[in-house]
Amino acid sequence: MFIDYITLMLINMVAGLILLADYVYRGIDNANQKQWIPGFGITGAIALTTGLHMIFTWPVGGSFNIAFGETTVLFGILFIASAIALSLGWDLLTIAIYAFFAGLAAIVVGVRIINLNMTRQPLMSGIGFILTGLGGIFAAPTLYWKANRNWRLIGAAVLIIAALIWAFTGYLAYWNHLEGFQKWVPLPMR
């Protein structure tokens, strides 16, 4: 049996997507940009740490390490960079440009998960990756059209739908993992 903390990664992503949806809808033009720093920082730290561990150690079977680990690193570094940029008053454009390429990677992963029939619910997981990726792809246009409240509402809605998909997946995984791992014993204790 392997160690699987994808549940932590998923729920962290849910929190990050909800925070990002809030930022897109009511924060992007708010005078108090610093209120999002702690949430973005926490999300980024957990994502970067777990993602890096996953890509360096491959704790789960097969290409799940690529799909979840590498995209989580991209997600994490974007949130850390955003927290730093907001704290220092930097422009978010270069982060949004990076988010475009990270988002494109998430879309490719989502399509491929559906194509390969990966995960227990490949269509739901694939759509989750695709919607999350769209958030990255449209980050720069959202900065450009930040005065357009309807555009921001659509963006926030896409992020919330992605968060709901990942919440369903993550909490269901917690439910199943608690049963599946209840008799697991670390190697030194065997």
Q: What residue segments make up the domains of the chain, in order of their start?
A: 6-176
- 127-172 pLDDT, tens per residue? 999 999 999 999 999 999 999 999 999 999 999 999 999 999 999 9
User: Distance of alpha carbon 65 from its chain centroid, rounded?
Assistant: 15
For 7-22, what is the mean pLDDT? 97
> What's this model's pTM, rounded to 2 decimal places?
0.93
pLDDT of residue 180: 80
CATH number of 6-176: 1.25.40.600
**Which residue did the predictor score with more confidence, 188 or 68?**
68
Burial of 159 (0-12, 13-18, 19+ CB in 10 A): buried
CA Rg, the chain, in Å?
17
pLDDT of residue 87: 97
pLDDT of residue 2: 63
- 65-108 pLDDT, tens per residue? 999 999 999 999 999 999 999 999 999 999 999 999 999 999 99
Compute the distance between CA of residue 51 and CA of residue 30 in angstroms, rounded to an integer.
31
